[in-house]
Amino acid sequence: MPSFLTKKRSKLITAAVASTLVVGVAAMAALAGNAGTSMLVRTQQQAAKARPGGTMSPAQRLAGFDRVRFSLGEVQSRDDVAAAKAVAVKAVAVKAVAAQQTAARTPSGSPIRIAQQMLGHFGWSPSQFSCLYPLWEHESGWNPAAENAGSGAYGIPQSLPGSQMASAGADWQTDPATQIRWGLTYIQGRYGSPCGAWSHEQASNWY
């Protein structure tokens, strides 16, 4: 074969290899958006420089693909971090809304008034207050700071120990609403209703 044909064939092979590299890079860059496009431009420039000097070695082609893969991985990592941050921000917003809604539902006023309003939250009729009032009047006089010096029972419902009421709120030592919420939860779980607790109190002098 004439030498000029060999040189011509070598150039054609070089051009074909460079074109294949560019096409492969273009396909990968399409998945990564602008960052991948930027990497494609740089790889095209490197391929263009390689053509006049001769054929790119397998190591050079592999290095080019590795650089593209690394760039695409960085883009994906940034997207994952951004998505995680968005989820965290949304969770904080949802929690804030829930806290606001809870605050709006929390009754206010005197301890007696708060208890009357909370009865419905537990599915009880207003008539249950006729049992709740004497129960806690006997236990604490409806005083949120009442403390039994002998047993250590504390608050309006005389929780024993008083720290149990922390499950209803960190302000269990001072907030009547927190104490009442805990007390009604306790009554519901143990006696079913204030009248059930009051019946036990009358029979045993404790509930």
The CA distance from 122 to 108, in Å, is 17
Q: What pLDDT was estimated at residue 154?
A: 98
Q: Is the dihedral of CA 14, 20, 26, 28 positive or negative?
A: negative
Residue 96, pLDDT > 50, answer: no
Q: What pLDDT was estimated at residue 3?
A: 47
Q: Beta-carbon neighbour count of residue 137 at 10 Å? A: 12
End-to-end CA distance of the chain: 109
Q: What residue spans define the domains of the chain?
A: 3-105, 111-204
Residue 80's H or E segment, with its range, is: helix 58-105
Q: For the chain, give the percent of residues with pLDDT over 90.
A: 48
Q: What pLDDT was estimated at residue 46?
A: 58
For 70-105, give one letter per residue: b (16+ CB within 10 A) or e: ebbeebeeeeeeeeeeeeeeeeeeeeeeeeeeeeee
More confident residue, 17 or 142: 142
